[in-house]
Amino acid sequence: MELQALEAAKPAFDKYGASLLAISPPTAPNSRKSVRQNKLTFPILSDAKGKVAAFLQPRHALRTSRAQFPR
């Protein structure tokens, strides 16, 4: 799962003083449930109405399984 890959990479973000968070379409309660179920140490913010996605206009989704993170 991509969230678990991000969790595994979190120490690299921490090393550089960066904050890690996820933005997802599910509602806030569902996002909190995902945090608990996946034992995440970073928040998942809810974008249920898609306003953040519309503002950022992402062109592609990050596939964390192929992403290269600094070690």
Q: Which residues pair with 45 in a beta bridge?
A: 23
pLDDT digits (tens, 9 = 90+) for 15-64: 999 999 999 888 999 999 999 999 999 999 999 898 988 888 776 665 55
For the chain, what are the domain ranges? 2-56
What is the C-alpha to C-alpha distance for residues 43 and 24, in angstroms, rounded to an integer?
10
How far the first Cα of the chain sits from its last, in Å, is 20
Contact residues for 69 (Cβ-Cβ < 8 A; gap 6+)? 9, 12
Q: Is the distance from CB of 62 to CB of 20 less than 8 angstroms? A: no
Structure confidence at residue 1 as a pLDDT band (50, 70, 90): low
CATH architecture of the domain with range 2-56 = 3-Layer(aba) Sandwich (3.40)
- pTM for the structure as a whole: 0.71
